[in-house]
Amino acid sequence: MKRTIRKINAIAQAQLIKLLLEGVYTCEQLAKESGLHYVTVLQYTRELHRAGAAHIASWDKDARGRDLLKIYKLGEGRDARRKKMTPAQRQARHREKRKGQELAQVMAGTARYVQAANGKLRFEAVA
């Protein structure tokens, strides 16, 4: 009886390449589909990218809305550019978030708006 020796690493890499040929996936999706560990998939995809065998097709947003998760596609191509917020957009988003928090505190009764000496409303926590 003759046994064939198969290397697990070769099978795993072949599965990863097959998935990348089928479509575009994030590293998390590739890890789930291939059964490989997430860190292993990160290493393989980075090496494929470094060698020019794969490129970043697009970016996926994380929980905070930033372009952080790379979506790879097998084959040569140009990497997709990340969309970055301008400082003005970041500041506007922060101000909106802060106004929403202040309004929630006012509605809950733990804070109030008071008219200042210059005629503008200012936020004040209830003591």
**Domain 8-74 part of CATH 1.10.10.10:** yes
Amino acid type, 11: I
Three-class SS of residue 73? Answer: strand
Q: Which residues lie below 8 Å from residue 36, measured CB to CB, with a gap of 6+?
A: 12, 15, 16, 30, 44
- Which long-range contacts (C-beta less than 8 Å, at least 24 apart) are formed by 81-84? 83/59
| Per-residue pLDDT, 6 | 62
The count of other CB atoms within 10 Å of the CB of residue 89 is: 10
Global pTM value: 0.62
Q: Where are the domains of the chain?
A: 8-74, 87-125
For 20, the enclosing helix (H) or strand (E) is: helix 8-22
| Per-residue pLDDT, 100 | 94
Digitized pLDDT (tens) for each residue of the chain, 127 residues in all: 677 766 667 788 888 888 888 888 888 888 998 888 999 899 989 988 999 989 999 998 888 778 888 899 888 889 999 888 889 998 999 999 999 999 999 999 899 989 989 989 888 888 7
